[in-house]
Structure 1
Amino acid sequence: MRLRPIHLTLIATLIALATWHILNLTGVLSPIAPTPQGVAKRGWEILTDPFYQRGPASVGIFWHLTASLGRVAAGFAIATAIAIPLGLTAGLHPLIRTATEPFVQILRPVSPLAWLPLGLALLRNAESTAIFVIVLTAMWPTFLSTMEAVRNVPTTYLHLAQTLGTSKTATLIHIIFPAALPAIATGLRLSLSTSWLVIIAAEMLVGGRGMGFFVWNMWNRLDTNAIVIAILIIGVTGFILDAAVNALEKALRHD
């Protein structure tokens, strides 16, 4: 029988589960460490009752997930609305590109969590601060991809447009932007992944509803089995988001 990738995945999963179980039984892991049986039981409890609401923070996993996705959608949309026009402008004008480079090189490496205290001080609102942090960290991949894509538009296209007397606005809309679109989609994919990573960390500190808050709350209760379930949900959601943008990117490249 020929092994397929799915077979290797199943074998690796079974080996990992067996090793995990043995480490728990032999006492190698901490007494509060999650167990395969505990994760399965807790997962059933969490996933079979995802919609309950017993208070502002005591809600089912569905509401935590939608809260995180809502913040990501808002932050990602704002970051995109800022990054693409700035990237187009910087790509078209070398002077602006040179002027903005120091800001990009200084601000881009800053840890997302470093912005949280400043955001809280400026906005005095946890929800707005979480979105603020997403915007500041997610805009850079799209900005840089857009700028480089515009710079690398084939000069043949531009010369042909100039020869035909095409206006600058028409050249931007009908030539430069479509040519740069596949690379912009790549930047959007990276920005979306960054947004999802950032919001989980931010929610651990700003509180309220959200997957990050759920993880931190479960840690305070020493419910590590629930944390594993949350990690799996976060990972699957991130995979779905990435796959959606990847499909868009492939469609644009195909076109």
Structure 2
Amino acid sequence: MSTIPLSEGAPVPARRAAPALQWPGRALGLLRAVALRLLPPLLILALLLTVWELLCARPGAALPAPSRVLQDTWELIIHPFADNGGNDKGLGWQLLASLQRVALGYALAAVAGIALGVLVGQSTWAQRGLDPLFQVLRTVPPLAWLPISLAGFQQGHPSAIFVIFITAVWPIVINTSVGIRNIPQDYRNVARVIRLNGVEYFWKIMLPAAAPYIFSGLRIGVGLSWLAIVAAEMLIGGVGIGFFIWDAWNSSRISDIILALVYVGLVGFVLDRLVAWIGRLVTRGTAAG
């Protein structure tokens, strides 16, 4: 068989790897990335559980060990949507009741917070008049609003929603106003050149440019909302994860409290990541995003 010799200095074309050989490498790389992300927190969690077990497994310990918590709360874990009537419901129903209140209060806070933030960011007079008031009101603890809301609404459910609203609205207002004030002057000049009206300027220039700041405030607000509802439900009663924790304390069910705290932390983590994910989708392609 004859061969054609390559001329001296001629580049030798690189061979492409067969697709069948590429997939194992990609799968291995994906597994390695997942392991690097998950392994450290899992190791820390295992270490903490081991220390907790060693400290609390001895007789006379004030808190139950993890193994005891799992044993005491097994029925709650495997039956999250049990309903025995009244307030005696599983943790799934308790969390859903709290999430419903958070969803309504947080939605109202998002709408009002963005609107007020745009007003304060656009108007110098509004900033001078409203910003000092906002700075004072945002320092009031969430539970301090509960007696006022109970006096005004005369019911626990709207009072809890008001506490969520008044807690979450301030970081949204402040971050939105900062984002509006930091819109590049070039964007404003372009809007004048192409003669955008107020509505077009709001949707095409203002919101996209300030979106990273807005979602920073929304992310802080959702965390504060979840904190506020747990605290408020301890006082207003009814169905909700906060009342479940308080009722478990009154009944000396410490294992139930620990399980509820784990669920509260997981739900708060999911809410934070959800808002952050939506923020990344919305701010993709913007200068600050």
Q: Do they fold alike, i.e. is TM over 0.5? A: yes
Matches within 5 A, 1:157-168: 157-168=187-198
Distance 2:196 2:41 in 1: 55
CA RMSD of aligned residues (A): 1.7
Structure number having the greater helix percentage: 1
> In the alignment, what sits opposite 1:112?
142
> In the alignment, what sits opposite 2:20?
none
Residue among 210, 226, 231 paired with 1:201: 231
> In the alignment, what sits opposite 2:103?
73
- In the superposition, the TM-score normalised over structure 1's length comes to 0.93
> In the alignment, what sits opposite 2:11?
none
* SS of equivalent residue, structure 1 residue 117: helix
Q: Does 1:22 align with 2:46?
A: no
> In the alignment, what sits opposite 1:227?
257
Contact 1:119 1:132 in 2 (8 A): yes
Contact 1:34 1:228 in 2 (8 A): no
The number of residues matched between the two structures is: 252
Going from structure 1 to structure 2, the CA distance change for 1:110 and 1:16 (only over 3 Å counts) comes to same
> Bigger relative contact order, structure 1 or 2, given CA contacts below 8 A and separation 6+?
1
> In the alignment, what sits opposite 1:131?
161
Distance 1:253 1:113 in 2: 34
Letter in 2 for 1:155: Q
Provide, for residues 159-200 of structure 1, a one-character-per-residue CA deviation record: whole Å limited to 9, x for no partner. 121122222332122111221122111111111111011100
Shift of 1:28: 6.8
> In the alignment, what sits opposite 1:140?
170
Distance 1:229 1:236 in 2: 11
Q: Does 1:149 align with 2:185?
A: no
- In the superposition, the TM-score normalised over structure 2's length comes to 0.83
Distance 1:211 1:10 in 2: 26
Distance 1:10 1:149 in 2: 37
Shift of 1:49: 1.2
Matches within 5 A, 1:80-95: 80-95=110-125
Identity of aligned residues (%): 37
Letter in 2 for 1:195: S
Letter in 2 for 1:9: P
**Which 10-residue stretch deviates more, 59-68 or 10-19?**
10-19
Distance 2:136 2:115 in 1: 20
Distance 2:171 2:147 in 1: 23
Distance 2:118 2:39 in 1: 46
Q: Does 1:10 align with 2:49?
A: no
* SS of equivalent residue, structure 2 residue 73: helix
Distance 2:192 2:37 in 1: 52
Distance 2:177 2:153 in 1: 30
Matches within 5 A, 1:93-104: 93-104=123-134
Letter in 2 for 1:19: V
Going from structure 1 to structure 2, the CA distance change for 1:89 and 1:43 (only over 3 Å counts) comes to same
> In the alignment, what sits opposite 1:48?
78
Q: Does 1:175 align with 2:205?
A: yes
Distance 2:131 2:218 in 1: 20
Shift of 1:9: 3.0
Shift of 1:5: 5.2
Shift of 1:4: 4.1
Going from structure 1 to structure 2, the CA distance change for 1:246 and 1:95 (only over 3 Å counts) comes to same
Contact 2:82 2:89 in 1 (8 A): yes
> In the alignment, what sits opposite 2:4?
none
